[in-house]
Structure 1
Amino acid sequence: MERGRSRKPWAGLVAAAVVAVAAGLAWFKPWALWVDETVHEALPSAVAPSTTPPAGTPTTESGPSASVTAPPAGPVTVAQGTFISHEHATTGTVKVVRLADGTHTLRLEGLDTSNGPDLRVWLSDAPVKEGKAGWGVFDDGQYVSLAKLKGNKGDQNYPLPADVDWSKYPSVSIWCDRFDVSFGAAALARV
């Protein structure tokens, strides 16, 4: 009987260690650092609002096929920046693009960063700082979490909500929400 009792504490410790290791693996997801997710999205094309006047409306041109000339219908880059590295090496560019219908999209081009357990794309009012000083500043003030990062490599688009004034958020961060740290960030400058 003595022997059976001395084994029970060890069995409990081993079970606790197994649970702790499993929980740690689930929380940290270390394999994500070696698994790349590449996304290649084309720039969205929104249909421009119709500029043809209703029948019977006078036009600026003469003739039966006259219509009002439309403003440029293509996407226009209104702000952009280049990523700098923070917690993980991060490169690529970020753009705010105004589409033909007047909506805005945040576009990441040539993104290359590490994968992580809970990466998000954030707009922030915090300034982009080099080095360790910039790793954790993006949740200190106001920020907007646009979405989960679609992939740690490639080109991808994130529609900007109509009720968000993106110009009040001069920074973009690839933010690890699990560990409250920036993988990389870019300062947006108007074009």
Structure 2
Amino acid sequence: MSRVSRRTVVPVLMVLVVAAGVGLFLFRPWTVFADTTVDEALPTASGSATGPATTDGAGVKGGERPTPNSGPEDLARGSFVTHEHETRGTARTVRLTDGGRVLRLENFRTSGGPDVRVYLSLRDAGAVKAGLGEGAVGLGELKGNRGNQNYTVPAGTDLSGFRSAVIWCERFSVSFGAADLAPVAG
């Protein structure tokens, strides 16, 4: 048997250390085991940075009309289905008292992961398993993998065409889960 020389071992160890570092950066395996719980109350009005969507003088977008002096109103809702990671809970689009809109996740539960984000998609929950599709709107990074949380819908977004709320891992381009958003009769 031949002895392995120091000239061979040191470069191999360096490559292994770099590969391990890159792997940890990309996969962030500790996020799968750490739970982050968020428990936000449903806001009654949008923050100062977000106002109601406006396309005409009355602040109306896509047939949605704010009702003065009323509380938050459900526009659509649905239950999450699992795709790549077990995902449960309810998604609701809600019009706030000032006309702003939020996507609310309630009794929500999924796995942690790297670079997980929340989207509204024009595709239904089954179809987003293959991709978000064109026209998807990002609402931000997932705040926590458990609990109740709110995501502001950008002003000017017409919610009438969006069919699902999606929990999407940007790093690996996979859907953790999605909820079909069915209009609420009102």
Match of 2:122 among 121, 125, 134: 125
Distance 2:139 2:163 in 1: 14
| 1:157 and 2:150 aligned | yes
Distance 1:116 1:136 in 2: 19
| 1:85 and 2:78 aligned | no
Cα offset, 1:72, TM superposition:
4.3
Change over 3 Å in CA distance of 1:123–1:80 after alignment to 2:
same
Distance 1:7 1:126 in 2: 57
May I ask how many residue pairs the two structures share in their alignment? 162
- Over the matched positions of the two proteins, sequence identity in percent amounts to 49
Query: Residue 11 of structure 2 aligns to a residue in which SS?
Result: helix
Match of 2:171 among 150, 160, 178: 178
| 1:136 and 2:130 aligned | yes
Change over 3 Å in CA distance of 1:134–1:163 after alignment to 2:
closer
| 1:99 and 2:93 aligned | no
Matched-pair contact (CA < 8 Å) for 1:86–1:134: no
Q: How does 1:2-151 map to 2 (within 5 A)?
A: 6-46=5-45, 71-129=68-126, 134-138=128-132, 140-151=133-144
* TM-score of the aligned structures, taking structure 2 as reference length: 0.82
Cα offset, 1:141, TM superposition:
2.3
Matched-pair contact (CA < 8 Å) for 2:84–2:174: yes
* TM-score of the aligned structures, taking structure 1 as reference length: 0.80
Distance 1:27 1:135 in 2: 21
Read off the aligned partner of 1:76 and give its amino acid letter: E
Cα offset, 1:25, TM superposition:
0.9
Matched-pair contact (CA < 8 Å) for 2:125–2:179: yes
Misfit runs of 4+, over 3 Å = none
Matched-pair contact (CA < 8 Å) for 1:136–1:180: no
Read off the aligned partner of 1:187 and give its amino acid letter: D
Which ranges in structure 1 are unaligned for 5 or more consecutive residues?
48-69
Cα offset, 1:167, TM superposition:
1.8
Read off the aligned partner of 2:140 and give its amino acid letter: A
Distance 1:89 1:32 in 2: 15
Read off the aligned partner of 2:86 and give its amino acid letter: A
Read off the aligned partner of 2:108 and give its amino acid letter: L
Which ranges in structure 2 are unaligned for 5 or more consecutive residues?
47-66
Distance 2:85 2:116 in 1: 12
* Residues 23-65 of structure 1, C-alpha deviations (whole Å, 9 max, x = no match): 1011101111110000000000129xxxxxxxxxxxxxxxxxx
Q: Rg bigger for which structure?
A: 1
Query: Residue 135 of structure 1 aligns to a residue in which SS?
Result: helix
CA RMSD after TM alignment:
1.8
Matched-pair contact (CA < 8 Å) for 2:131–2:173: no
Matched-pair contact (CA < 8 Å) for 1:83–1:92: yes
* Residues 46-89 of structure 1, C-alpha deviations (whole Å, 9 max, x = no match): 29xxxxxxxxxxxxxxxxxxxxxx84421011100100000000
Matched-pair contact (CA < 8 Å) for 2:80–2:178: yes
